[in-house]
Amino acid sequence: MDLSKLSNDGKPNLLTLPRADLQGNTASSFRMMQLPIGWKAEDLADSQFISKPQQQVALVSEAKEMSFLVSNVQSSNCFVLIPPPDETDEEPVAKKAKSSSLRTIPTRLLKPGGSGATFLELRVKVLKVTDLQSALAHAILDRDEENHASPMTIDALAKELQHSKMEIRKGLLAMERAFVTSNESVYLLSEEIQMIVQHAIVSTLAEDCEDYAGRGVHVESCVQAIVERMSPEERFRHDQDVIHYCLRRLAHPKSDANAEIIQLDVPKVAQWVARHLFSLQSTPWDESLFLTRWQSQTPGVGDAYRVSFDMLRGLAVHRGTLWKYLPADQIMTTGGSVEDAFTLLFEWKDCWELDELQPYLDAMVDATAISQGDLVLQYLKVTTETINGSSLKMCRKR
């Protein structure tokens, strides 16, 4: 409420409260809730509370694509609720104020010790990738026909994890092995199926769709060619749908992924090839040998299809002339905890540049909902090196 509208000289006058509101305990039939900054009451129109046993209640907004943890906060303060000025009256509020410096307006006093002295506090709820993976533990799509996976729908995942459906969709897009059907059933591809699909797509691009980043590929024709290239031993349930889904995920950010013809993103294809090469040996690769093999196996001809080590950001890390496979999207599932993840990273290198460490910090933030600042303060120390210029190095605290 703008109190200056009730003043004669720009300073608020004394506001009186009804005597009844100043006596006894006030039992309220409503609860106060602290809204996020910038929100209005109408922004809650499509929101809902989701409660689960042993879990904190969450408020989920589909329109805002956000979720919040709800806490009941007890306050020792008195809250006085006053209505906004009624601008619909024929007589302006400022004119009414001139008639008397002391006015009575409708109010409600919320006193400590009663239900009215509490309010609901909202804290942003971050979707953890590890929670998504755990929820899909029984939805793994495998080639073994005896192990029929039980998919989950996006709606079921949203209720299970207490998040909006759009948050779930975005989280699944960030998961390399997630597969979403046309009716929004969700599977997690087994590593074997993932390798089969990626190899089949790359092989087809190399032989039938050499200019996949320029002229693009006709999705349906390409999918059919990929399926025909697969051997009977490589076929699996939903294989055509999986290939269709994975091919569209390779679309260039500026290409319409839902179009009939799409341009594919060279770095995404090159990363698939790099993952395959790293899977061929457990020891780190020599830089020159890896670059030669990587370029020769990446489909496409011309400068537009030239690979670079920048494409390995978040996938592998170098130490001198050796490159080790350290995928950021697996750092938390491999390590299991932040401490284990940092141990894996610093076993390979004592100090990291922030840019090469950033994908792993992002993965930890997504998996744990711990802020990057807290991760750096708790586990890392920052040093400055002045060799051909100044650069920041991130080292582990001892």
Residues 7 and 113 in one domain: yes
Cα separation, 220 vs 240, in Å, equals 10
Cα separation, 77 vs 80, in Å, equals 10
Residues 102 and 143 in one domain: no
Cα separation, 202 vs 261, in Å, equals 17
Residues 120 and 140 in one domain: no
Domain of residue 171, CATH code: 1.10.10
Residues 51 and 98 in one domain: yes
pLDDT value for 109: 65
DSSP state of 162: T
In a domain, 101, yes or no: yes
Strand-by-strand arrangement of the 58-61 sheet: 32-33, 118-124, 66-74, 58-61, 48-50
Domain boundary among 104, 124, 144: 124
The owner of tokens 């999207």 is: 329
Residues 88 and 148 in one domain: no
DSSP state of 21: G
Cα separation, 340 vs 334, in Å, equals 8
Instruction: Report pTM.
Output: 0.72
How many distinct structural domains can be found in the chain? Answer: 2
Domain boundary among 140, 164, 189: 189
pLDDT value for 323: 97
In a domain, 36, yes or no: yes
Phi, psi of 133 (to 5 degrees): -65, -40
Cα separation, 17 vs 177, in Å, equals 62
Residues 102 and 19 in one domain: yes
Q: Which residues pair with 286 in a beta bridge?
A: 322
Domain boundary among 103, 124, 145: 124
pLDDT value for 83: 62
What domain range is 45 assigned to?
Answer: 3-124
Question: What does each of the 398 residues of the chain score in pLDDT, given as a tens digit?
Answer: 233 333 344 433 333 334 444 344 444 455 678 888 888 878 888 899 999 888 899 999 999 999 999 998 877 777 776 665 555 555 555 555 555 555 666 666 666 655 556 778 898 898 888 889 889 989 999 877 656 678 999 999 999 999 999 999 999 988 888 999 989 999 999 988 998 999 999 999 998 887 999 999 999 999 999 999 899 989 998 999 999 999 999 999 988 888 999 999 999 999 999 999 999 999 999 999 999 999 999 999 899 999 999 999 999 999 999 999 999 988 877 556 899 899 999 999 999 988 899 999 998 887 777 889 999 899 998 887 655 555 678 888 87
pLDDT value for 13: 35
pLDDT value for 16: 36
Q: Which of 275, 235, 268 has the alpha carbon at shortest distance from 252?
A: 268
- Judge whether 384 and 378 are in contact, CB under 8 Å: no
Cα separation, 54 vs 52, in Å, equals 6
Neighbouring C-beta atoms of residue 219, cutoff 10 Å: 19
Residues 142 and 156 in one domain: yes
In a domain, 396, yes or no: no
In a domain, 228, yes or no: no
Cα separation, 337 vs 364, in Å, equals 9
Q: H or E stretch including 71?
A: strand 66-74
Residues 29 and 117 in one domain: yes
Residues 70 and 11 in one domain: yes
Residues 41 and 139 in one domain: no
Query: What CA–CA distances, in Å, run from 156 to 147, 150, 160, 184?
Result: 21, 12, 6, 10
pLDDT value for 367: 78
